[in-house]
Amino acid sequence: MGAFIIRRLLSTLLVMGLVGVFIFLLLHLSPGDPAAIIAGDNATPAQIEAIRTSLGLNDPLHVQFGRWAMRVLSGDLGISIFSNVPVATLIAQRVWPTLSLAFTTIVLAVTLALAAGVLAAWKAGSLADRLVMILSVVGFSVPVFVVGYLLIYVFAISLRWLPVQGYSPLAEGFWPWASHLILPSTALGLAYVALIARITRTAMLDVLAEDYMRTARAKGVATGPMLFKHALKSAGVPIVTVVGIGIALLIGGVVITETVFNLPGIGRLVVDAISKRDYPIIQGVILLFSGVYVIINLLVDLSYTLLDPRIRY
């Protein structure tokens, strides 16, 4: 098991390296760069070239990559070309809204989805089952920003129950923090409810059909605790897999939700950076997100050993 973890960590480092190369190549092989944007409206071509050189953009690619890689390995993610603020500082300033959003979305989505999936599996084949599945797929089919606008219109403008936009740090009170996150989490979470509910249902159906479940029922064990304790634990592996995938997808969905609800998170940071071609921010954030994804995958794999004793590394 220890050897497994070490092997996986080494593999993680390799993967991160690959990610770094991918992103670097994508940015630097594309036409255009930040020089013209930085130079401003009245710049001459000579001025734009001068800026390009001062940013090191005219150096050969491998030199530029080596420079950036060395920096990253010593912990320096570089400085934003536009704002002169270190990328690490920018990320640190904006990580809480993204984390908060991700957390509340997962809590919301997983709760709803597990409940829906278990219900659907328990009443397999009935109208309730069909309805739950269709409704959850509908949630998966409408773009997040449309759902977001509708929610804002209904709950924030018409009913005035919740704020329209913005983020309130937890330090300034639990309810302000939570109330700013309810609508975004709902908009974002709807898609994942579908995904997780369906997998839950399938996994639960498999488990419910197993012999040992029928035996338990025959022995007269009460249905409630039986359902949740035995079934959920066995179905844990596929469910956790999907939650892991869901978290990866979340990183993508966060980008749109942060724009619609004006949350000052990392998703917006990187989208703004892309439109300005602020390379250090783009590279730094994508590296960060990839790292998070890879580590979560590792944790998901490790959690299998807890949920299913048959799985050993």
Partner 1 sequence: MTRRATTSRRSFLKTGLAASAAVAAPGRLTAQSAPGATKTIRAVMHGDLTVLDPIWTTANMSAYHGAMLYDTLFGIDANLDTKPQMVSKWGASDDKKTWTFELRDGLKFSDGSAVTSDDVIASLRRWAARDGAGQHMMQRVADIAKKDDKTFQFVLKEPYGYLVDALGKTSTPLCYIMRKKEAETNPMEKITAYVGSGPFLFNEAETRQGVRYVYDRNPNYLPRSEPASGLAGGKVAKVDRVIFENMADSQTALAALQAGEIDFYETPPIDLIGQLEGDSNLTLEVLNKTGNIGWLRMNFLHPPFNNVDARRAMLYLLDQEDFMKATFGNPKFYKKCPSNFGCGVPMENDANTGWFKEAPSQAKAKEYLQKSGYKGEPIVLMQATNIDFMRNAADLVAGALRSIGANVQVASSDWGGVVNRRAVKAPPEQGGWNLFITWADGNAVSNPIALAGHAATGEKAWFGWPSDGKNEELRDKWAVAGSLQEKQQIARELQENAWNFVPHVWLGQWVAPTARRKNLTGMLAVPGVVPFWNAQKA
Partner 2 sequence: MTVAAAELARVPPRSGLWHFVRRNPTLVGGLVVLALIALAALIAPLIAGDPIAAKPVNRLRPPSQINWLGTDQLGRDVWARTVYGARISLLVGLSVATIAMSIGLLIGLLAGFSRTVESVVMRLMDGLMAIPAILLAIAFVSLSKASVSIVVAAIALPEIPRVVRLVRSVVLTVREQPFIEAAVASGTRLPKILRRHILPATVPPLIVQATYVAASAILIEAALSFLGAGTPPEVPTWGNMIASSRVYLGLAPWTIFGPGIALALVVLAVNLVGDGLRDRLDPRIARRM
Q: Please tell me whether residue 94 binds partner 1 under the rule CB under 8 A.
A: yes
Interface with partner 1, residue 303, by CB under 8 A: no
Q: How far apart are CA 201 and CA 115, in angstroms?
A: 10
Could you give the 3-state DSSP secondary structure of residue 152? helix
Work out what residue 205 binds among partner 1, partner 2, none; the CB cut-off runs from 5 to 8 Å by kind.
partner 2
Measured from the CB atom, is 177 or 192 closer to partner 1? 177
Q: Which of 8, 15, 47, 179 binds partner 1 (CB under 8 A)?
A: 47
Contacts with 92 (C-beta within 8 Å, 6 or more apart), sequence order: none
Size of the site for partner 1 (CB under 8 A): 69
- Tokens for 159? 């009913």
Residue 202 touching partner 1 (CB under 8 A) = no
Return the amino acid letter for 222: A
Positions touching partner 2 (CB under 8 A) are: 11, 14-19, 21-23, 26-27, 30-32, 133, 137-138, 140-146, 149-150, 153, 198, 202, 205-206, 209, 248-249, 251-253, 255-256, 259, 270-271, 274-275, 277, 282, 285-286, 289-291, 293-294
Tell the smallest beta-carbon distance from residue 294 to partner 2 (Å).
Answer: 5
**Nearest-angstrom CA–CA distance, 228 and 233:** 8
What is the nearest approach in angstroms of partner 1 to the Cβ of residue 124? Answer: 42
3-state DSSP assignment of residue 79: strand
Q: Which does 248 bind (CB under 5 to 8 A by kind): partner 1, partner 2, none?
A: partner 2
- CB of 168 or CB of 234, closer to partner 2: 234
Residue with smaller CB distance to partner 1, 119 or 256: 256
Which residues within the stretch 168-197 sit at the binding site for partner 1 (CB under 8 A)?
168-172
Place of tokens 């400085």: 79
Q: Binder to partner 1 among 65, 82, 140, 304 (CB under 8 A)?
A: 82
45 counts as binding partner 1 under rule CB under 8 A = yes
Which residue among 260, 282, 287, 294 contacts partner 1 (CB under 8 A)? 260
Q: Which residues pair with 79 in a beta bridge?
A: 86
Residue 75 binding: pick among partner 2, partner 1, none (C-beta 5-8 Å cut-off by kind)? partner 1
Compute the least distance from the CB of residue 250 to partner 1, in Å.
Answer: 20
Give the Cα separation of 248 and 82 in Å (integer): 29
Shortest Å distance, C-beta 34 to partner 1: 8
Residues that bind partner 1 (CB under 8 A): 31-33, 36-45, 47-48, 50-51, 54-56, 70-71, 74-80, 82-86, 88-96, 149, 152-153, 156-157, 160, 163-166, 168-172, 259-262, 264, 268-269, 272, 275-277
